[in-house]
Every structure is written in C-alpha cells, then in structure tokens.
Amino acid sequence: MRVDLPHPWPESVAEAEVIQERLRPRVELTGPADFATVAGLDVHYHGDDALSAAVVVLDAATLSVVEQVVTHGQAAFPYVPGLFAFRELPALVEALRRLTVTPDLLVCDGYGLAHPRGFGLACHVGVLTGLPALGVGKTPFVGAYEQPRQERGAWTPLVLDGAVAGRAVRTRDGVKPVFVSQGHRLTLDTATDQVLRLTPRHRLPEPIRRADHLARHGG
DNA sequence: GCGACAG
DNA sequence: ATCTTGTCGC
C-alpha cells in the first residue's frame, strides 16, 4: 500500500513534540463501523536498537491470514514515554508499504488518543496512512479509570484531563483489562466493538498476537 | 521538587 | 521492550 513519512525526522524531544502538535488536528474521530480486513502491527526489539516490525492482515470475518510482512531495521528515536511512535514508525511504515493489499483497519500495539498530547502511535499511523486505526495498550499509561466488571465485554471510561480518552476493556473473564483508544477515523464505540470481536479467545486481539508472533519468530 | 512513565 | 522457572487454569 501507499504510505509516506511526510515530515522531517525529529532529532530532539522538542522537535518530536512539535510534529505531534502539528499532526494532531488531522485526527478524525468518526468513520466506518465495519471492516472487511484488519491489520495488526507490532515491533520486537533484539539488541540495543535492532528491531523487527511485523504487519499481519486478517480477514475480519474468519480471522484467517490474508497477507503478512516482516521488516528488519533500527529504532529511529530513543525511548521517551509519549514519543514512543518515533521509535517504530519508520520500520512499521516500511512494512505497510510492502503490503500488496490495503487493510481497512489498523490495530496498533500502544495508545492513540489516550496520550499526553492526544497523539499516540495509533493516531500517528492512522494520519500517515489515512486509514481507520485504533490503539490497544497492555498497561495503564495516562488517565484514570475504575476497574471494569470481571466479565468479558465489560468496560469503564479512561478519563484524561476531564474528558474520555479511551476505555479499560475486559476482553476475557477475570483477566487484566486492556486499554483501548481511538487512533483515526473511527468512534470509541466502534474501537471497543472491534477489539472485542477481534479477541474471541485470548487477552489481546488476534491481529496483534499474530504480528507479535511474526516479529518475534519471523515468517 | 520528585517520581512515574505506551513499547 | 528484555533478562527468566515453575505453576495454575481453561
């Protein structure tokens, strides 16, 4: 698929923050609710900066693999909470570029709107591709939330600066919730619904599990 | 001021 | 993220 990195790569924290502030207004919080194909994105780190980026496209109805790509590269920025996207974006974009199909939804390993400047990895990937995107975080990062009920499907709002920025969602009975937030071109209801339907069995959505496995063990 | 802080 | 065994439960 077609993707570009239309901004100079930041060389400082200040530059990276400026890019986030500049791109944030481009995020759209409404869009389609149904998707034929869904891609999971993940990165695995080897040494200091060596990494593998994986994208796995699934048929949304059957969860069978349509196409998958792994690329190898280097982290493009030091790890700074809030600027996480700048580490992995070049490798992820390269992997997306090598896809022969264009997925209808991108499921990212990390946060979207639930971010100190409202522009996490899922927003950044969504704005660059123009595709609907959502973020799934495994640990709390920003915001306050109440513990959702123990049953799969239960959720509570994730509140940041007095506004709802995402949801803590129980994807399986009795397991720790995951943190869902909008990335681009979809509502929070749609993001929650998609995460639940893409997680029939485990804690994390199938696209992310597949991408994680591919980045770790290759394909 | 200090600590905590997606992956 | 990664360094790491066994154990409990579906």
**What is the mean pLDDT of the segment spanning A119-148?**
96
A181, two tokens:
């937030």
Asked if residue A111 keeps its beta carbon closer than 7 A to nucleic acid strand B, the reply is yes
Yes or no: say if A92 and A110 are a contact pair by the CB < 8 Å rule.
no
**What is the mean pLDDT of the segment spanning A149-163?**
95
Query: Residue written as tokens 């196409």?
Result: A67
- Which residue, A113, A69, A86, is CA-closest to A7? A86
Asked if residue A43 keeps its beta carbon closer than 7 A to nucleic acid strand B, the reply is yes
DSSP string spanning A95-157?
HHHT-SS--SEEEEES-SSSSTTS--HHHHHHHHHTS-EEEEESS--SSB-PPPPSSTT-EEE
What CATH code is assigned to A13-217? 3.30.2170.10
According to the model, what pLDDT value does residue A87 have?
A: 96
Asked if residue A216 keeps its beta carbon closer than 7 A to nucleic acid strand C, the reply is yes
According to the model, what pLDDT value does residue A61 have?
A: 96
Yes or no: say if A3 and A129 are a contact pair by the CB < 8 Å rule.
yes
How far is the C-alpha of A175 from the C-alpha of A177, rounded, in Å? 6
A193 is in an annotated binding site: no
A49, two tokens:
């900066």
Q: For residue range A165-202, what is the model confidence (pLDDT) as tens digits?
A: 999 999 999 999 999 999 999 999 999 999 999 999 99
Q: For residue range A1-58, what is the model confidence (pLDDT) as tens digits?
A: 999 887 889 999 999 999 999 999 999 999 999 999 999 999 999 987 899 999 999 9
In window 133-192 of A, residues with CB < 7 A from nucleic chain C are: 138
Asked if residue A72 keeps its beta carbon closer than 7 A to nucleic acid strand C, the reply is no
